[in-house]
Each structure stands twice: as C-alpha cells, then as structure tokens.
DNA sequence: TGACGATGTATCGGGCCGATACATCGTGGC
DNA sequence: GCCACGATGTATCGGCCCGATACATCGTCA
C-alpha cells in the first residue's frame, strides 16, 4: 500500500481506539521502516497506476519484506507493560488473528490485571476521598469505574472463549485473514 | 501547592481519564505558568515548612494569581473542537463545578455530538466492512460501539439533570468546592 | 546502621501531533 | 464550458509531552 491508503486502512481497523495517524508520523515512520529494511518500495508492476508526468513525486507503494514479516510477528507475540495500556492493547488485539492462542491468552490476562488495578484505584478514591471531591468529579469516577467493570467482564468472556477454543462471537479464528481484493 | 503535590492531586481527580502527568511536563509547565504571570511562588509563611539547610533547592510552593484565576475561568468556559475529544472533555468535566450551567450544557451537548459521530462511524464500518475484517477486529469495533452507546446515554442523563436544575446524583452543584483543610 | 520507598526538583532525547504547503483528479453547480 | 470544492497524495516544521534518568532528603523498619 501507499501511505495515504495505509492511513485509511488503519483508521478503520483501529477506529475504536485512536484517531487516524498524523502525516507528521506516517511518512517519517515509513522512511524509518524502509531504512530498517522491514518494508521496501514495490515494483511499478505492483502499483498498476500510470506514473504522473509533471509532479515531483507520485504515490509510493510499499511492500513488507521477509525480515519485516518476521519482526512484525515478534512484536505481536512479545508483551511488555505498555502492551496493557489502552493504546498498546488495542493494537495487539486488532492483530490477534496473526498470533497463536497462548499469546492471546497472555495478553488478555495481562490487560485484565491492568484494568482490575485501575478499578481498585477508583474504588479506593470513591471510598476514601468522596467528601473532598465535588459532585462532578465523583460522577466522572463512577462513570470510569463502570467502564472498568464492563471491560473486565468483556475480557473474561474473551478469555473463556479462548480457553474453550472459540474465537469471539463463537467463530473459529482466522490464522491468516482473507486476501484483500480491492485495488481500484 | 508544590509540583509533587499537584501531580498527586491531579492524578486522583483525573484518574479515570489519564495517567499522572509526567515530570518532564510538570516542571516546565509550572515555569511557563509563572513566566506568564498566572501563578507565583507563595510566601514562606504559606509553606509552613523549614527550608532545607544543605540542598540546592527545597520544595517550591506555588499560588495562583488573580490573573491566573481569570484566565482559568476563561479556559473552562470556552470550548473548541479539542474540548470534545476524550482528554479535553475529561478535564473540562472534572472542573464543571467551577462553571455555570450554560457552559456545562454547551460542553455536554458538544461531547454528545462527537460521540454520536464516532458511533455512526463504527456502525458504518460494522455494516460495510464486516466481510473484509477478521473476527477480532470486528469484536473490537463492537466493543467500541457498545461503549459509545453507553456514553451517549450517560451524557443524556447528565443533560436532562442540568436542564432540570439538578447536579449529578441529584445533588445541587457546588459553585465553589469546599476549602481544602489538609496540609500536613 | 543501613536498606528501602516516598518525597521532591530538574533535564534530555525522542516520538507524535497539528498546521501547513503543494499538486492532481473527479464531480457537481452555475 | 468553467470553476470551486473536496478527496487524494507526499512532505516538513515547530512545539508539546512522555519515559528515563539523575540527584537529594526524610521516615521507617529490620
């Protein structure tokens, strides 16, 4: 894909958890990935477009390399503390179909532990500082606590499904997503 | 308050919506606020601590100035697009007790509009791209959609309460929070 | 007495965002 | 027929924020 396309694709895939990636991040990152050898410019045959005549630089189509695929798989499988906060977990989860069940269970349980900690912190505040905070702040904490409790239940459902060999919504997980056939 | 104390205070007040502010942001920001004249160093009498003998720099207690109070009230009352995304709305809401009802209603309705847009976007994706996305990505979108629907309901409840002159949880809003009496 | 965690202030490198610039292309209105 | 506008596309820059780190004090508990 080229940058603009990649941005749109990621925006729909990660639409829930974050806004579209900015251009100030996108293009420098593509360059860094190319320098690292994880992606490369695709052949003209892959792009299927007529190169522009007058403009300085047309669209640049990138392709993941073999090394990039390896590195990507590694990144998805390894989990550190930042894997369990909102942004990190969202990205990992969105690419769960590229991982094995053990990795999925490990990340789901780590995320659950993280949310449970946040939940306990909020309960602590609500019980200990409720007289020191105004009504709106308290309402905000209650709303946050509610969200934590819902997410824990959601995670437990997912964990149960994984353990019993079911993917979300009761379907079998795709080890490799179906190939994309849309290239206008 | 001094920096460290302020950080803790904000962490409990905003615990739901963001992590504690980093030191790399906190101290430069305090300096910028002081340069702008919105805060100033408090008198030694206000600090009630014995200044350190050997260390280079003890705790620095800051105090908001009259101009700072004015500016803060302005910032709370004015609402732009960034007021309605997660971080901005959370901050405004946490300080709702410092604003008037018209401002609160304006911000609540702006936030509702924003979340409704996100909700429609997710519904769009779920109905149009459900065959192109894998099961995990779809589950993520469904979970996000659910969160949007819950937040809209929460906001509508708050809006109804504001219109009928009730604060959250049915109490009357504090125009000025009760003075803090904890200074160890 | 000494280790450890909480309390405190401060800086630095790097990543990310918002704004901006510039160019092409399709479409719909007048 | 023409023009404005929005979508498509690549690219850079200033500025803000974070994580890591350094350094120092204080209370507590073994």
Q: What pLDDT digit, counting tens, does each position of B70-107 carry?
A: 999 999 999 988 999 999 999 999 999 999 999 999 99
Q: Is the pLDDT of residue A43 over 80?
A: no
Which of B107, B125, B143, B172 is the mutation pick for testing A, counting most A CBs within 10 A? B143
Which of A22, A125, A140, A152 is the mutation pick for testing B, counting most B CBs within 10 A? A140
Q: How far apart are the first and last CA of chain A?
A: 12
Q: Is the pLDDT of residue A184 over 50?
A: no
At residue A36 the predicted structure's pLDDT band, cuts being 50, 70 and 90, is very high
What Å value separates CA A92 and C1' C16? Answer: 19
Q: Is the pLDDT of residue A183 over 50?
A: no
- Condensed to tens digits (0 to 9), the pLDDT of residues B1-38 reads 998 999 999 999 998 899 999 999 999 999 999 999 99
Of the given ranges (A45-54, A143-152, A158-167, B164-173), which has the lowest mean pLDDT? A45-54
Radius of gyration of chain A (CA): 21
Predicted local distance difference test score (pLDDT) of residue A61: 92
In chain B, residues with a C-beta closer than 8 Å to the C-beta of A76 are: none
In chain B, residues with a C-beta closer than 8 Å to the C-beta of A129 are: 12
Distance CA B136, CA B144 (A): 12
**In DSSP terms, which residues pair with B64 in a beta bridge?**
B39
Longest dimension (CA), chain B: 70
Which of A18, A134, A161, A162 is the mutation pick for testing B, counting most B CBs within 10 A? A134
At residue A135 the predicted structure's pLDDT band, cuts being 50, 70 and 90, is very high
Q: Any atom of strand D under 7 A from CB of A4?
A: yes
Mean pLDDT of B93-122: 95
Q: Which residue has better confidence, B41 or A150?
A: A150
Taking CB atoms and an 8 Å limit, are A12 and B139 in contact across chains?
Answer: no
Predicted local distance difference test score (pLDDT) of residue B18: 92
Predicted local distance difference test score (pLDDT) of residue A58: 74
Taking CB atoms and an 8 Å limit, are B136 and A171 in contact across chains?
Answer: no
Q: Any atom of strand D under 7 A from CB of A27?
A: yes
Distance CA A118, CA A144 (A): 9
Predicted local distance difference test score (pLDDT) of residue A44: 59
Taking CB atoms and an 8 Å limit, are B121 and A15 in contact across chains?
Answer: yes
- Condensed to tens digits (0 to 9), the pLDDT of residues A46-75 reads 555 555 444 556 788 999 999 999 999 999
Predicted local distance difference test score (pLDDT) of residue A165: 81
Q: Is the pLDDT of residue A175 over 50?
A: no
Query: In terms of Cα–Cα distance, which of A93, A75, A96 is closest to A84?
Result: A93
Taking CB atoms and an 8 Å limit, are A135 and B17 in contact across chains?
Answer: no
Distance CA B64, CA B50 (A): 22
Q: Any atom of strand D under 7 A from CB of B8?
A: no
- Condensed to tens digits (0 to 9), the pLDDT of residues B151-162 reads 999 999 999 999
Mean pLDDT of A139-165: 96
Distance CA B95, CA B14 (A): 10
Predicted local distance difference test score (pLDDT) of residue B166: 75
Distance CA A138, CA B94 (A): 9
Predicted local distance difference test score (pLDDT) of residue A163: 94
Q: Any atom of strand D under 7 A from CB of A69?
A: no
Q: A169 in the Ramachandran plot: left (φ > 0), alpha (ψ -120 to 50) or beta?
A: left
Q: Is the pLDDT of residue B138 over 50?
A: yes
In chain B, residues with a C-beta closer than 8 Å to the C-beta of A105 are: none
Q: Is the pLDDT of residue A115 over 70?
A: yes
Q: What percent of chain B clears pLDDT 90, i.e. is strictly above it?
A: 68
Distance CA A89, CA A71 (A): 18
What Å value separates CA A47 and C1' C26? Answer: 20
Predicted local distance difference test score (pLDDT) of residue A155: 98
The pTM of this model reads 0.86
Give how far Cα A88 sits from Cα of A14, A114, B24, B128, Å.
Answer: 11, 12, 22, 26
């Amino acid at each position: 894909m080229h940058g603009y396309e990649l941005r749109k694709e990621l925006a729909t895939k990660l639409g829930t958890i974050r806004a579209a990636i900015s251009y100030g991040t996108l293009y420098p990152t593509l360059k860094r990935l190319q320098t690292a050898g994880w992606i490369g410019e695709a052949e003209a045959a892959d792009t299927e477009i007529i190169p522009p005549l007058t403009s300085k630089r047309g669209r640049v189509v990138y392709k993941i390399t073999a090394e990039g695929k390896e590195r990507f798989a590694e990144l998805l499988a390894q989990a550190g503390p930042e894997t369990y906060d909102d942004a990190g977990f969202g990205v990992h989860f969105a690419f769960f179909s590229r991982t094995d069940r053990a990795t999925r269970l490990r990340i789901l349980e780590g995320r659950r532990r993280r949310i449970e900690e946040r939940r306990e912190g909020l309960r602590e505040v609500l019980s200990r500082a409720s007289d020191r905070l105004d009504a709106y702040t308290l309402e905000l904490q209650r709303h946050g606590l509610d969200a934590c409790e819902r997410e824990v239940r959601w995670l437990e459902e997912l964990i149960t499904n994984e353990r019993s060999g079911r993917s979300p919504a009761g379907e079998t997980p795709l080890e490799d997503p179906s190939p994309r056939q849309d290239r206008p």
